[in-house]
Amino acid sequence: MERLVCLAVGYVCGLLQTGYIVGKMNHIDIRKQGSGNAGTTNALRVIGWKAGILTFFGDVLKCVVAVVITCLLFRGSDCMPLLAMYAGAGVTLGHNFPFYMNFKGGKGIAVMAGLVAANSFWCLPESLLMIPVTLAFFLVPVIITRYISVGSLMAYTAFLIEMILAGQRGMLDMEPARLYELYILLFLMTALAFYRHRANIGRLMSGTENKFGAKKKE
């Protein structure tokens, strides 16, 4: 029941489509422009860097809020990192598949950034390394290749590995069964990120993916 509540809390928070709202503020339906995605990258390309920043931080914030609500609801739980991950999974589902937008949302990368920020506080000060390490796995590939999709998927994979390492080192303070449940849940979220980027992966393989800073090809 706790897990279902966390998923529900996360899904409701994830329904706040920052990119769509920012687009409407600029008299644009972000779903009908660019890639048709309601996330940060499309907002950045279609509307501009200010819209991209607003979209990113809005999507990060809704994940952090969902985790905070979860912590308040289940204060004292012996599996809080797992419940927080369920809340993050709920936000990801709400962000990617909002029911009121015909299940057409974003790809969940900014939400993952919010999950990194929220999870970095479980085992201070060591866990704070999650933020710069994950950021590096995003920025370095983007700087080298200029493909945001590559950096996004690298960052998500890095977060999965970081959480597994943190769990195996005892930093999450949970029994093995719950640790493995967290690993599986985060693996499924990572797999979903790759699935949501399947068109990007196809374009990368064909050499037609749009590079950051380049005009989108028609």
Q: What pLDDT does 218 receive? A: 40
* Residue appearing with tokens 């597994």: 164
pLDDT for the residue 217: 46
Half-sphere exposure of 172 (CA within 13 A, CB side): 25
pLDDT, tens digit, 9 for 90 and up, residues 178-208 = 999 999 999 999 999 999 999 999 999 998 8
Low-confidence ranges of the chain (pLDDT < 50): 216-218
One-letter amino acid of 168:
Q
Half-sphere exposure of 5 (CA within 13 A, CB side): 9
Closest CA to 128 of 174, 68, 171: 171
Q: For the segment 77-86, what is each residue's pLDDT rounded down to a tens digit?
A: 889 999 999 9
The predicted model scores a pTM of: 0.88
